[in-house]
Structure 1
């Protein structure tokens, strides 16, 4: 059986090396499982200790996706097995989220340039891999989203950090609607840095191989320069940017219920992107909406490491509480697209409903991510 994540290096003319990590599950849109997380984590740590490795590239196998998210099928099986038990009982879910978040944090803090070739679909766990890279490249085929509203989770993998730093209230809108954006909006809202045509992959590799590397922090600028030297694609204003004023007006309300009413009303909008966003919100998980709203509110004042610690507690509780399991069932298992959310309305998620999700303190010395960033 072929490895789910391929690790290799290519040689440069000056004797330096560039590491390439290829997510290799194209039939599953390169969804990230625990084995892939562990292989990539080890490769990054090894490369960080090798002076001759000057940069790293992430890419996805196949033509359709960089990474469409985490491996939800294995999580679903363990959620069935541990149904009704405390969040701590599901060891697989705890390991999955802890190791994925540790990897994402490593990427955010990596001492060498990491280029993410964000071609095709980039969602959920794929966004987690891409977000921390120093040079995030999108192409004309890129389609990015944090669509967890559809499956009863929330924009995790540092999504709270990323979305809370998007311009205006666009981050909250994307969290509540799972709206799909292309290259232009990805750069506009801070999810990506550069836009190249898909056919620039080979020229990018050739440019990396022919660059004289300093093997110091100067190499971050060298990567930027060589990307800028390649022909970029012409970007048209995307729907997120063009509807920014409307989105800000809707999402600046303090009361989430009022925001929800306004987003739901978009389902009748003549603009297809807005109407799809409104419809997705209406069909989405009310618990996800509440948790996303609260996490983005808190994330504005927290460090990246603390955000990962906070998200971990919420994620493992989601794996135990039922909506996440039901969302995966409806979207991926039975595929009936008829989830039965509990609670069924946003109003029922007010007050103390959220308390169990935030029960694990980020300062708990036994927290699985206690040493992150410390």
Structure 2
């Protein structure tokens, strides 16, 4: 599939750092937007993930490189009048501003989002915060695990000694913040095309993740709270769970429908020469007799797949064929999952402030306003 990307020509200024905001603008970049990072040049400012291990061969944090490849970067100290004015000069030409400060910080900087939307009527401001711009927790600090705890998401999975393990993915940051933010911005751009006006978007990471827990909470309201690790999709069904194989590898069995359960029985019968009951005990014993990849091949029509280790994912033929992994060696990265995306993902991330002079000149910010 080819053609112009959906957000081609959209200019996004990104004041955020770490994961939710940069991942949000990574999605927008994948849809064709031009993303310009605005970083604090003062000691301790900027995006801390630049300096978080592990590092690329160039000495940049791998997470930072993955989320910011191909973006541009300008350095502005927003506490200084002249540099704040420079940002305002850029906002006169921007379509979207993304920020991830705690509520009230933008106002203290003289950049209150509601005032910005009044001053620049076509501007869309997306404020990503842990608990939202209002409510009793708006001023409280937090991180992903705490936000997830308030949604019930952490209580849904299996538990070790009665305590849920931290999820391997940052659920609130990714689903609650980045994806909800990108979707909200895309919708606001559609609305602006119709009305000519931007808006201020209050993106709460907790609210965004809570939406994903909605069906479980609806069941709870009906008197059927989920059983941790015991629901149909969380390990309660023997034919919808994972099993260890003879070589230590693991397969994911997802034979939910009766036709796939019959395919699972048939495949196991053909491989072992006997009937295998679809119980946890029998399936565990069956899978323990062959290596992972043999089972994944033999039972592919029963919705059985290998559980890949991260190093295997980078080389898997599916992702290579789809172009989902770009680059080579230590520079391999995932591209945004949209048609036409990928060129930026293979580019290096920007150094802090590398594009300041060029971008300020491009958008007509006068030399007197430059830092």
Is the shorter-chain TM-score for this pair beyond 0.5, marking a shared fold? no
Structure possessing the higher relative contact order (Cα contacts under 8 Å, 6 or more residues apart): 2
**In which range does the TM-score fall when normalised by the shorter chain?**
under 0.3
Normalised TM-score (structure 2): 0.26
- Larger Rg: 1 or 2? 2
Bigger helix share: 1
